[in-house]
Structures are given as C-alpha cells and as structure tokens.
Structure 1
Amino acid sequence: MDTAYSRRLLYPPIRPSRASRLAVGDGHELYLEECGRPDGLPVIALHGGPGGGISPALRRFFDPARYRIILFDQRGCGRSTPHGALNANTTADLVADIERIRAALGVDKWVVFGGSWGATLALAYAREHAAQCLGLILRGVFTCRQVELDWFYRHGANMLFPDMWERLIGPLSEAERGDVVKAYYERLLEPDVVRRRPDALAWARWESALISLGGEPASQLADPLRADALARMETHYFFHKGFFEHDGALLDSVPQFKHLPGIIVQGRYDVVTPPQTAWSLAREWPRARLRMIPDAGHAAGEPGIVDGLVRATDSFADQFS
C-alpha cells in the first residue's frame, strides 16, 4: 500500500567526515566531500543542473551505516572554482572528472546515482566506464535530446504554464523568442555578473516554477550566485546539445552498459523531464527497473520520489554489501 504514512523518509542529516579539493586541469579545482562509513559501499552522487551544485539533502538518500557517500560540485558550480567558468567545461570533461575522483579516492567500483542532469551524466559515465560501475540509480531521466529541449524551451511545457512562460520570454525581443535557449545563452555570456543577473534569475525562475508538483520554490532562487551558475551552465550545455556526438547518443549507447542493474525513479507528472524518456530508456535496458511515481513531478524532495530513491539505495546496499 503506497500511502504517505508508509513511505520511506530521508536518512537523518549527516555532516561530511572529509572534505577536500581536487585540481583537474584547465584551471578547474573541484570541491569533494565524503560521508558515512569509510569502508562502506561506495556511491558517487551526481547533482543536477547542469550548474546546480550539491546540497546537504543529497547525502541523506543513503544509509550512512552502509554507504561511503561521495559528492562533488561539478566544474564551475558550488564550491568548485572558478565559479561559473565555461572554459573546458563539457560533458566529456565532467565524465573525466568523475573517473579522476574514483582514482584519487582509491575506489574500485561504485554505485552511480544521479537525477535530472545528474542522470544524464550518470549515463554518459556508464557508457565510457561500465567496468567501474556496480549499478545505476536514476531520477527524472534527461538525455539532452532535441525533443526534450524543445519540450521545455520551445513548445510543450509552455502550453501547461503559459503565465510562467510569459515571464521567461518577456525580457526577449521578438527575434530572440524563436530560439529561447540561444537567446539566453548569448545574454548570459555577459562577463559582468551584476549586469547579467536579471537574465539569470529569469532563466532559473522558469525551471523553479515547474520543478515540483506542489509548486514549491527551488533553492537556487534564494542565492543569486547559485542562480547565475545554474543559468550560465544550463544554457552553455543546452545550446551545445550536451556536447554529444549526435542527437540521441545516450539512448543509442545503452548496449554498452545494459548488463548493469539499474533502478529508475520517475515522477508521472514530471514536466521538466517527461516520463517518455525514462520509459524509452527502460525498454532498451533489460536489467533496469522503472518505478513510476503516480503523484510526483520532477523534484527530488517530493515524498514519492524520496520513497523511491531511498528504497533504491537500500536495495543496492542489500545487493552489493
């Protein structure tokens, strides 16, 4: 019986047992932290965005008595430096960073956990480094295909949220409105953080308004610098189609990791990354189990999503410990 009172909750708050920094070249230095049991089952948790940065809540999807929890801020995000930097910042760079972290921490194989853009990055890592993966746990699957970008930034989500869409396109000229991603990408290349702030907040506000079925505000709006990194990084990656070699590259790459076990947790009413992508991925991946949450949207903190993810991490801990 899937009711609110029977659902799993996040594990209690936990502080990092170790924080460090890792230079990865091209002037970038990553912030890393570890929590939980030092000799536990290793898991790398990949944050969303791109540009979102890690949060204390991300640690709490894992049982600290059984997991060695590893988190990091991706290039240009959070406490990684330089903040908001777009140079040498591609999907291939991020995948290489994950592998550098694994080597630096002496991990042989690990569970890879990611939601939204974190799911994109998890899939990109798995197709290159399947031998280093025990399994994948994904939420709100996003593969950066043109059809997914068009849904959210051209025609689709705007039909459900016309008022919020008007706020997004309001600052744009008529000519710019034909390609919203390109328009905001070019605007956010403005080097002065104060001058580009209105555009960064307008971009972040659109996603924030749609992320939760309950309409809860997203945390990035409370911090202008976080909103700036999110907007800059998202437009950078989306304008360049995720830096993939062709449209649909991740779904085409499923044979490279389909032998791995996977758990996909997807909100039925996710309008940021609609369920069709998770459905398509699960159909191509025989060892993946898709759990569609009937009363959830995109946000990781919605009760049904929390329940699904905590059950997934507990299941992997039972399987691999």
Structure 2
Amino acid sequence: TEHLIADMEQLRKHLDVERWLLFGGSWGSTLSLAYAERYPERVSEIVLIDVTSTRRYEIDWLYRGVGRFFPEAWERFRDGVPAADRDGDLVRAYARLMENPDPDVRAKAATEWCAWEDAVLSAEPYGKPNPYGDRPSRDVLAFVRICSHYFAHAGWLEEGQLIRDAKRLAGIPGVLIHGRLDMSGPPDTAWELSKAWPGAELVLVEGSGHKGSPAMSAALYGAFERFACS
C-alpha cells in the first residue's frame, strides 16, 4: 500500500496537478483514504463507493463470517485449502496456494476463491451474475493472487488506522455511497467513517449491494456533478 500511495503521488507530480478529487470503490476506497490521510493538502474532494478500510475485522467477515448466509458455498471455499489450514486463516492459506509452483494448484485455488466471491454477491438484485468467475483465466489468476496477498497482510495497515485518522480529512468535502444490501462489505464501515470524518456525507442506498444499481449510479454522478460545479 505504501508503494501504491507513492505511485499516486508521483503521478500527481508528473501531471503537475496541485489538488485532485479522489474516487475509489471497494479496495479503491481504502487506497483513496490512505492517500488522503497522508496528503490531505493535495486532495480537493473525495467520492467513495462500496466503502472499505481493509481492517482484519472486515476481511474476516468477508471470508468467514458471511459464510453463515451461504453455508454450502463457504464450505466449498473452506475446503479449497489443505485440511490443516481450514480452521485457521483461510486468506493466508489461499495466498500460499497462489504462490505454488504448480499452475494447476494456482488455477484451482483461483477458481474456488472467485466462486466464493460470486456467491457472496449472488443475492443482489442488480448486476450480472458471476462477475469474478466469468473473467478471462489470466485475469482471474491475477486478481486472486493480488487480492489474497494484500488481504493476508491486511493491506499493511494498522488495524483501524483509516477510521482512527479520518480526522485528518477535516475540511475535505466527501461523499460516501454504500448499498444497504452489500453483503461483502456491510454498511457499518461507511457509517463509522462518516462519524469520524468531519463534513463527510453518507448516502445509504436502499435495495443496492456491492455490484451497484441505477440508484447508486445516480448518487455517484450527482456527487461528481456537484463537485464539478463548486
């Protein structure tokens, strides 16, 4: 994450941009927050959707806790790692599988990971089915390798760091857009962030989840329009 923040700052300097609006969704919201809390003077506004902060608390929910709603899919996900790892850190176990020299082992692990991600989003009323598993095989491998590696290290962030340091964003206008039905990232993180960030506006969209909806798109474009005209 430190490398990504450095990349963003290098890009800003290269483009000779004094201050810019940050937009991110899901992991991108975590990265946007991490950058903004490091360089608040370089940020004009922030728009976040599907808000996450990559706490271990959130990671544990996505890869274990929400399994209570999808027990059959979660059992398959759990059984995708060696038996000795099934009662431990599943994310770290998958990260190890994605480093296995056998391409068949990596491919199977990536398939099981994406099947689980798709299952978590399967009850949402909008968006296409299987948004993760239907990607080209090369993209699936890249996604799971990066995702499991970052989440196994909780994004290299202190637990709760981004919520704790949200006070650094005081004076930066922000809009947090989150679907009420988001099972992969429940709304409590967006709620906590809105309480810790002076001046942030929280928009909870009923009937929407992680994959979005027409109402979420309208809220997103409305925020962009407002900031463009300010």
Report the TM-score when normalising by structure 1: 0.67
Give yes or no for the alignment of 1:312 onto 2:223: yes
2:159 to 232, 235, 247: 247
Q: Distance in 2 between matches of 1:134 and 1:202?
A: 40
The CA deviation at 1:250 is 0.7
Spell out, residue by residue over 1:37-74, the C-alpha distance to the aligned partner (whole angstroms, 9 max, x if none). Answer: xxxxxxxxxxxxxxxxxxxxxxxxxxxxxxxxxxxxxx
Q: Give the TM-score, by structure 2 length.
A: 0.93
* Alignment length (residue pairs): 226
CA separation in 1, counterparts of 2:36 and 2:4? 13
Q: How does 1:244-283 map to 2 (within 5 A)?
A: 244=157, 246-283=158-195
Give SS of 1:236's match: helix
Q: Write the letter of the residue equivalent to 1:171.
A: G
For residue 140 of structure 1, give the secondary structure of its aligned residue in structure 2: strand
Given residue 171 of structure 2, which amino acid in structure 1 is its aligned partner? H
Identity %: 36
Matched, 1:164 2:66: no
Q: 1:253 to 1:204 in 2, by over 3 A?
A: same
What corresponds to 2:197 in structure 1? Answer: 285
* Aligned mates of 1:93, 1:193 — CA distance in 2: 28
Q: Which blocks of at least 5 consecutive residues in structure 2 are unaligned? A: none
Q: CA deviation at 1:230?
A: 1.1
Kindly indicate which of the two structures has a greater share of residues assigned to strand.
1
Does the residue aligned with 1:175 lie in a helix, a strand or coil?
Answer: helix
Shift of 1:168: 1.1
2:7 matched to 1:97?
yes
Q: Match of 1:221?
A: 134
* Greater share of residues in helix: 2
What SS is found at the alignment partner of 2:130? coil
How is 1:1-321 mapped onto 2 (pairs within 5 angstroms)?
91-154=1-64, 156-178=65-87, 179-211=89-121, 213-214=124-125, 216-219=129-132, 221-244=134-157, 246-300=158-212, 302-319=213-230
> In 2, Cα distance between the equivalents of 1:144 and 1:205?
21
RMSD: 1.6
Q: Secondary structure of 2:226's partner? A: helix
5+ residue gaps in structure 1? Answer: 1-90
Distance in 2 (CA, whole Å) between partners of 1:309 and 1:287 is 17
1:126/1:257 contact within 8 Å kept: yes
The amino acid across from 2:81 in the alignment is L
Contact 1:293 / 1:304 at 8 angstroms: preserved in 2? yes
Task: Indicate conservation of the 8 Å contact 1:205/1:221, yes or no.
Answer: no
Deviation (angstroms), 1:193: 4.2
The 3 A distance-change label for structure 1 pair 180 and 252 is: same
Whether the 8 Å contact between 1:204 and 1:230 is mirrored in structure 2 is no
The alpha carbon displacement at 1:221 in A equals: 2.8
Q: Distance in 2 between matches of 1:153 and 1:268?
A: 19
